[in-house]
Amino acid sequence: MKKEMMKLLSLCFVLAIGIGLFAGCAKEAPIAVSTNTETEAETEVAESDVDDDYKLVLKLSHVFSPDEQLTKSMDAAAAKILEKTNGAIEIQTFPQGQIATYKDGVEQVVRGADFISVEDPSYIGDYVPEFTALVGPMLYNNYDEYRELVRTEMVQEWTKKAEEKGIKILALDFIFGFRNVITDKVVVTPEDLKGVKLRTPGSQLFIETLNAMGATSTPLPWGETFSALEQGIVDGLEGSEFTNINTKVYETGKKNVALTNHFLGTCGVYISLDVWNSIPEKYRIIMQEEFDAEADYSVELLKSQHADVVKELESYGVEFNEVDVAAFTEATKGLYETLPGLNIEIYNQIQAELAEIRGN
């Protein structure tokens, strides 16, 4: 009797292990990646929901022209994402302001559209003012300082604030060069800009900065810049050497570039947080990796091309001159206290981080 009981118990034991193993194999393990905004439980649900039919079409919008690296980078990222997700994530790119751009593009994101906005971070500043300070005037000496700064804990905290406003930031460093004043006169000090009407993008940061630098800002979308120059509505503009060469600004006759370096031209990549969280984790990883890789690639490429671009512009008759940097810095410093939501503390925090980055 005792022997039979032992046999029965061993049989139950073997059966229990078998059932347990089967149950364990039947459930696919979730990808163990969590985000700032999602619990692991939610990630598991998202993963188990992934099926072969998953498909999302996103519209990506920006103002850049076909010859500009930013356009090439966005097209390349979209193509790789389509390929690596086996067609699940299709990003349709719309360059040259064909659909909503600037403030309107970011608004699409905030409203939760299936939309990716690629714009200067100061447009995020309308929702989280720290981003206006991040790209404020006269801050950076080179691209790397900015790239290091956006990876600091301080800026990571700001990106969390953007998420609270429904904006997921996928990148902040699609750099397209330092922005300089482009006119038909030699500009060295803020006094030289008195009465000079300059086209700027419609971001409040840009408008106020160019005014503080002594000019009269005329906010216009990029697409209206050339006709405004032709018609004499503006006397010049501000932009990078890459903008100058790839959109042929030098053909307008505005051939004096004052090396103010007042802004680092950079674009971020923004998507609605709700849309982002609805995308299965394995596709989000691919998207993030591809945008990161394109940002790295394009920044290195532009760094290596800049000297040749300057030479080529000079061969078209463009003349570059140094400016009184201290005078422009002095003229614009007050903006860190007067622009909406900004205060000198934020400026000081940025300067402290930059000092560390520079090894001071």
The binding site for ligand X3X (CB under 6 A) comprises 63-65, 68, 102, 119-120, 201, 222, 239, 243, 247, 267
CB of 65 to ligand X3X, least distance (A): 5
Report the residue number, 64 or 276, with the smaller CB distance to ligand X3X: 64
Report the residue number, 130 or 281, with the smaller CB distance to ligand X3X: 130
In eight-state DSSP terms, residue 182 is: E
CB of 289 to ligand X3X, least distance (A): 24
Report the residue number, 54 or 226, with the smaller CB distance to ligand X3X: 226
Q: Kindly give the pairing relationship between strand 197-200 and strand 167-183.
A: unpaired
Report the residue number, 43 or 261, with the smaller CB distance to ligand X3X: 261
CB of 176 to ligand X3X, least distance (A): 6
CA distance 31 to 303: 37
All residues at 6 or more sequence positions from 219 whose CB lies less than 8 Å from its CB, including other chains: 199, 200, 201, 202, 206, 207
Report the residue number, 63 or 78, with the smaller CB distance to ligand X3X: 63
CB of 280 to ligand X3X, least distance (A): 30
How many CB atoms are closer than 10 A to CB 325? 13
CB of 68 to ligand X3X, least distance (A): 6
Report the residue number, 65 or 351, with the smaller CB distance to ligand X3X: 65
**CB of 307 closer than 8 Å to CB of 177:** no
Report the residue number, 236 or 239, with the smaller CB distance to ligand X3X: 239
CB of 254 to ligand X3X, least distance (A): 14
CB of 104 to ligand X3X, least distance (A): 11
**CB of 125 closer than 8 Å to CB of 346:** no
- Degrees to nearest 5, angle at CA 201 with 148 and 157: 30
CB of 29 to ligand X3X, least distance (A): 42
200 phi-psi bin (left φ>0, alpha ψ -120 to 50, beta other): beta
| CA atoms lying within 13 Å on the CB side of residue 327 | 14
**What residue ranges in 66-220 does DSSP mark as E strands?**
89-94, 115-119, 167-183, 197-200, 216-219
DSSP 46-66: HHHH--TT--EEEEEE----T
| Single-letter amino acid, residue 263 | F
Report the residue number, 43 or 247, with the smaller CB distance to ligand X3X: 247
In eight-state DSSP terms, residue 169 is: E
All residues at 6 or more sequence positions from 8 whose CB lies less than 8 Å from its CB, including other chains: none
How many CB atoms are closer than 10 A to CB 56? 15
